[in-house]
Chains A and B, each alone.
Chain A
Amino acid sequence: MTEDTPPATKGRTVTIAVAVLVLLVGAVLVALTAFRPGDPGTGDPEAGFARDMSTHHAQAVRMSFIVRDGTDDAEVRLLAYDIINTQSAQIGMMTAWLDEWGLPKTDPAGPMRWMSGHGGHQGATAMPGMATRDQLAELERASGRAAEVQYLRLMVAHHRGGVAMAEAVLARTGHDRVRSLARTMVTGQNAEIAQMNRMLRQRGGTAV
């Protein structure tokens, strides 16, 4: 009977093979979990973008409400209506990202650090395209055609800043949802910039 493989040895070989297989599968699973791309951290561009673009959008919503109060012009009021709804909804989307990532909605170190290089050594900078408080107050005082022209000029600058921020995050992230929303901002706001410049010329203003 020495010519047969003893059953005990055969059984042990199978046991070892199965055990090694299980260990390998386990190791692969652990490695996959450990090296899976995690959620963004609080200092990452995705988080900074979500916070700062929310602030940026909030001002666009505010300006659009102001012009809707200041003019009866249907075309400007419809554009403002569009911006209010689009950007409010996008604020909600970006806020939900921060909730999902378990990150604070603010960075006390200041806004825009994610756009100024690695870790943002330059510290906080102003958000591009934001209107000053004086400009908002002036818009609030204006009415009719003057309000429309002021609004369109402010909003073109605001959208340009927004496009720059969206392009900046596109250059810094591979996060799918962040990229897809940022892309729609770039195309959507660029289209509106062209439309607003057309509306500006129709109202006797110069394109900006």
Chain B
Amino acid sequence: MVDPALVLSSVVTALLVGCIYGVLTLGLNIVFGVLRIVNVGFGAFVMLGAYITYFLYKDYGVNPLLTIPVSFAIGFALGYAMYYAAFRRLVGAPELSTLLATFAVGVLIQELARIAWSPDIRGFTWDIGVLELAGVRIVYSKVVAALSALAVVAGVYYLFTRTRFGLAVRAVVQDPEGAMVVGINVDRIYAVSMALGIGVTVAGGSILAIYLQQGIEPYMGIPYTLLAFVIAVMAGLGSILGSLYAGILFGFFEAASFLAFSMIKDALGLDILPYVLTRSAAFFLLLLTLLLKPEGLFRR
């Protein structure tokens, strides 16, 4: 009844898109994990990355892959500036303040983008070929996007677990006052972590743009905010590799529920939209995780 090629293709898509989800979630998770700030404006930074890739490729012919480090650098600078401009005062502030502040920054960036670049939906084509495997078409640019996502996750993982900076970050997370008395500039660790988190998010936006190549508009990031929250909760808030694992897991969940809803639709002749239902199923997954394993699935 189920076409094997369709299943195989779903598995491949789940894996590829899962890596993208993973890197996006990582951006959210770094900021939360170190500063305990939930970045509700997350989607705006994803959008920013997508536009950077779009303009650099379309207007200047820059290889889309090279736009990823550019986005990271811009995001890093933006995050650093944001920390000293506003968020420095919000570390340890009541959640409502940080939620409102990040929400406000997100809205600001989105509206500026709409004014600067118009609300038109844009897209580009970066065609580097297609791999045909057992009747499944795998688009190379999507593979490249997924591999870039893995590279970013690996880089962040290395930074946080194998370097002295990472050791200092872990010290700050575990005991900020202890970190102060050993001479760590806690303020700077927060600033750099925020910069890294936003940098990864904007770079993630570029990776997402390479993956999708379509649908680039000022509000495109909003659904990813929701998605990244669900995945971050599954990952365990603050967990680096967990973000990737949960992203991939979520990719599979999405593919499976999409297949299931499609089959239900066909079998029962119901007038439903499988993709929309998949999105609501994500919230069911969120509730389930919070109920059964609130500390996350991938947390040591």
The answer to whether A binds B is: no
